[in-house]
């Protein structure tokens, strides 16, 4: 049995909360969460992997228990989030690591790989997209905001921040929703309801266009550096389509792609199966 420690790091005067488990000398594994969650999403996965890996799962800036500085002092862009996580990994001694990327964690982690390819031992992408064909029509309202960042288009996106939408993200595409604990989406809803959190998330919706613009660079990184790659995908995800998972094999012919009959938050229903896939992949 391995215990999980709950820690804080001071990264350039910004407090970053993180979960840590496993032996310090074991192979390193960085877990990067997505919208609108936090490292809490890894609560079932971490204990299943801690025997073999030194695991660290931070909350991204503006999420979970990490600081949410004011928008007047911190620009909420994916470049800036990646800057903080890059410094965080350096501070905790993660100089060579595999990473698990999900949703927003993917453009964050792929930026780290672009900047420091020598640090990346392997990549596991769980519904973490890097291809245009992986984007569903569910992105249309956000795309409209990219094309016309008007107040009306920004306000229209507030529907994506409601309790009902958050719960739907967890349950959509899940054959048996009784398997989805309400704790995850209730906690996310709590964080989203903090003063100012809505504007932070709307800023990030707007900046997500920068991730799509970087897709060619991410794909070139895959072709050039050929990191060992595993895609574990909830095939019923309403945002990131199975075609996005299959597309990795275009640039990484040796990539492993596995689909699970579940939705966006695949760990809520398939943590054991995904942990088994990760262990076999990384140990090989």
In-domain check, residue 132 = yes
In-domain check, residue 52 = yes
Residues in the chain: 284
In-domain check, residue 118 = yes
In-domain check, residue 187 = no
| Token pair recorded at residue 186 | 């209730």
Yes or no: say if 57 and 21 are a contact pair by the CB < 8 Å rule: no
In-domain check, residue 200 = no
Predicted confidence (pLDDT) at residue 1 exceeds the cutoff of 70? no
User: pLDDT value at position 13?
Assistant: 95
Q: What is the pLDDT of residues 220-252, one digit of tens each?
A: 999 999 999 999 999 999 999 999 999 999 999
Query: Whole-model pTM above 0.85?
Result: yes
Query: What is the C-alpha to C-alpha distance for residues 33 and 121, in angstroms, rounded to an integer?
Result: 19
Task: Quote the percentage of the chain above a pLDDT of 70.
Answer: 100
How many domains, the chain?
A: 1
Q: What is the pLDDT of residues 141-197, one digit of tens each?
A: 999 999 999 999 999 999 999 999 999 999 999 999 999 999 999 999 999 999 999
Q: What is the pLDDT of residues 255-273, one digit of tens each?
A: 999 999 999 999 999 999 9
Give catalytic status of residue 40 as yes or no.
no
User: pLDDT value at position 2?
Assistant: 79
In-domain check, residue 77 = yes
In-domain check, residue 128 = yes
Residue range 85-113: average pLDDT? 98
CATH number reported for the structural domain that contains residue 262 in this entry? 3.40.50.1820
Q: What is the pLDDT of residues 108-139, one digit of tens each?
A: 999 999 999 999 999 999 999 999 999 999 99
Q: Which residues pair with 231 in a beta bridge?
A: 125, 257
> Of 40, 54, 264, 270, which one is the catalytic site residue?
264
In-domain check, residue 191 = no
- The domain of 14 spans 5-138+210-283
Q: For all residues of the chain together, what is the average pLDDT? A: 97
């Amino acid at each position: 049995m391995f215990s999980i420690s709950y820690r804080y790091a001071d990264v350039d005067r910004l407090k970053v909360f993180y979960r840590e488990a496993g032996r310090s000398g074991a192979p390193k594994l960085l877990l990067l969460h997505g919208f609108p969650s936090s490292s809490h999403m890894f609560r079932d996965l971490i204990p299943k992997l801690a025997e073999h890996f030194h695991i660290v799962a931070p909350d991204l800036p503006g999420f979970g228990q990490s600081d949410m500085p004011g928008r007047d002092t911190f620009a909420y862009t994916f470049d800036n989030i990646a800057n903080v996580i890059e410094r965080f990994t350096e501070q905790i001694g993660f100089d060579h690591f595999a990473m698990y990327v999900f949703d927003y964690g993917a453009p964050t982690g792929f930026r780290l790989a672009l900047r420091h390819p020598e640090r990346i031992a392997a990549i596991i992408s769980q519904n973490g997209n890097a291809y245009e064909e992986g984007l569903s029509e569910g992105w249309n309202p956000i795309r409209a905001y990219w094309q016309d960042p008007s107040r009306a288009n920004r306000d229209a996106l507030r529907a994506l921040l409601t309790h009902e939408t958050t719960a739907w993200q967890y349950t959509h595409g899940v054959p048996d929703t009784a398997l989805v604990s309400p704790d995850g989406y209730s906690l996310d809803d709590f964080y989203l309801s903090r003063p100012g959190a809505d504007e932070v998330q709307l800023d990030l919706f707007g900046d997500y266009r920068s991730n799509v613009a970087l897709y060619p660079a991410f794909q070139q990184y895959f072709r050039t550096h050929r990191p060992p790659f595993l895609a574990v995908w909830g095939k019923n995800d309403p945002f990131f389509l199975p075609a996005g998972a299959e597309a990795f094999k275009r640039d990484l012919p040796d990539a492993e792609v596995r689909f699970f009959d579940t939705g966006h938050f695949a760990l809520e229903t398939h943590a054991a199966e995904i942990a088994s896939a990760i262990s076999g992949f990384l140990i090989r």
